[in-house]
Amino acid sequence: MEPVIVMKFGGTSVADAQRIKHAARRIVETRERGNRVVAVLSARGTTTDELIAMAEEVSAVPDPREMDMLLSTGERISCALCAMAIHDLGHRAISLTGSQAGIVTDESHTKARIIDVRADRITRALDEDRIVLVAGFQGVSSTARNVTTLGRGGSDTTAVAVAAALGAEVCEIYTDVRGVYTADPRIVPDARKLPSISFEEMLEMAASGAGVLQLRSVEYARNHGVQIHCRSSFEDTAGTVVLAEGDPMEQPLITAVTHSVAEARLTLVGVPDEPGAAARIFQALAQVNVNVDMIVQNEPASAGGRAEISFTVPREDLRTASAALEPLAGESFTEMSRSEEMGKVSIVGAGMRSHPGVAAKVFTVLAEEGVNIEMIATSPIKISCVIARDRVERAVQALHGAFELSGPDSISEEQPFTA
Ligand code: ADP
Ligand code: ASP
Ligand code: MG
């Protein structure tokens, strides 16, 4: 039987008619090389942002179910248009919504998780010699049968989940850069493309803000043994392959610098120093599905004193998080303060496990730049610092330089993003 290849095209790669036709040609070429092809497409260009803005024009707090009905339309448009372009190239194609493609999720609107892929309709279409276009970023909830969406960047996860269900040879993520770089090439022009990266490092990178692959797509690929190849949709060059084990030949101390400018911090003052205090606070946040990132708490210095807890959440969740905590005021804390303009810079590298002194170097570099570190968290292969949002860009550039991550194959040789 012919092998299956899943090809995912991101928003920039299908932004206008010319690019949709270009994607259609690449899909057809892969089919003509003797593969069965499923293409997962994102919404065109800034469509998702525009849909969110539309919702906010009519409602201060848009209803999540209706938000998903609205947001899911963007990827459907891309798929229908691309199917038309493929027909004109002389191939049979069919576009499917997430629900038609059998993407079953839990019920959490706007951040749903895929729990099953019932791929029989995709398989049938492939058996009928069709190219299948699946609308990314969406599914149908298992009990209420509502349309759901998978969170920003969710088409990556659709592609990986479909690849897993079909036993695809590879899941190719076509995007507007050549692959995964040592830092976001938009802010570090001499960042270097990595030929391969381990799941372990890619997970840390995705979790700390490298939006090139959605975190859940990397988790899903690791759990289901899917091979990801992240590459350029504009040129036919090899990109970055995510491997179960990193390349032992490529084991630098630090692999990448990542960042996020979309953080917010909440600080709770006057938290009782007793068992269960933190549990109450974080249970309230879990109930409303807010993903807490960094948490810092100190034991009160004096006996009978009260603790302070600070933690970060994605800025878009700040309102939900504060609303969930307000009823606990008095019993679980006395005061809550919020900082909206936070960012985060992280360095990731499996090599740091066996090398002391990396943290000291990070802090020194940031100090030399006059960047104030507000929170710190580490894992065996990552050091993250929460800093002011407007210092993030400079901090990333300084760390990338200090750890000597630049090299050949940088973005400066690549064609412009606007191509
Ligand atoms: P798509 O629409 O194709 O899904 P995204 O915008 O989600 O594209 O992801 C690609 C973008 O990710 C790049 O344009 C780049 O600015 C950004 N990015 C951030 N960190 C990295 C990194 N380490 N390597 C490559 N790209 C990165
Ligand atoms: N269109 C969605 C977004 O902009 C999903 C995706 O592109 O992966 O987040
Ligand atoms: Mg993306």
Ligand nearest to the CA of 138: 2
**Among 48, 216, 316, residue to substitute to test ligand 2 (most atoms within 8 Å of Cβ):** 48
Nearest residue CA, atom 6 of ligand 2? 153
Residue 214 Cα to ligand 3 midpoint, Å, equals: 7
Residue 318 Cα to ligand 1 midpoint, Å, equals: 24
pLDDT band at 417 (very low <50, low <70, confident <90, very high): very low
* Confidence (pTM): 0.94
Residue 222 Cα to ligand 2 midpoint, Å, equals: 21
Is 50 exceeded by the pLDDT of residue 8?
yes
Question: From the alpha carbon of 182, which atom of ligand 1 is closest?
Answer: 23
Tens digit of each residue's pLDDT (9 = 90 or more) over 288-306? 999 999 999 988 888 788 9
Mean pLDDT in residue range 183-209: 96
79 or 252: which carries more pLDDT confidence? Answer: 79
**Among 49, 155, 156, residue to substitute to test ligand 2 (most atoms within 8 Å of Cβ):** 155
Ligand 1 site residues, Cβ closer than 6 angstroms? 10-13, 42, 153, 175-177, 180-181, 183-186, 210-212, 256
Ligand nearest to the CA of 42: 2
Ligand nearest to the CA of 14: 1
Tens digit of each residue's pLDDT (9 = 90 or more) over 201-234? 999 999 999 999 999 999 999 999 999 999 999 9
Tens digit of each residue's pLDDT (9 = 90 or more) over 40-82? 999 999 999 999 999 999 999 899 999 999 999 999 999 999 9
The pLDDT, as a whole number, for residue 301 is 82
Ligand 2 site residues, Cβ closer than 6 angstroms? 10-11, 42-43, 48, 74, 136-137, 152-156
The pLDDT, as a whole number, for residue 416 is 44
Q: Which CATH superfamily is domain 4-175 in?
A: Acetylglutamate kinase-like (3.40.1160.10)
Q: Residue 99 has which token pair?
A: 């629900």
Tens digit of each residue's pLDDT (9 = 90 or more) over 96-110? 999 999 999 999 999
Mean pLDDT in residue range 364-386: 96
* Domain assignments of the chain as residue spans, ordered by start: 4-175
The pLDDT, as a whole number, for residue 412 is 54
Residue 122 one-letter amino acid: I
Nearest residue CA, atom 9 of ligand 2? 152
What are the residues whose beta carbon lies below 5 Å from ligand 3 (ion)? 10, 153
What is the percentage of the chain residues whose pLDDT exceeds 90? 91
The pLDDT, as a whole number, for residue 411 is 60
> 267 near 296, Cβ under 8 Å?
no
d(Cα 134, Cα 132) in Å, to the nearest integer?
6
The pLDDT, as a whole number, for residue 300 is 84
Average pLDDT over the chain, rounded to whole? 94
The pLDDT, as a whole number, for residue 419 is 37
Contacts of 203 (CB under 8 A, 6+ apart): 215, 218, 219, 222
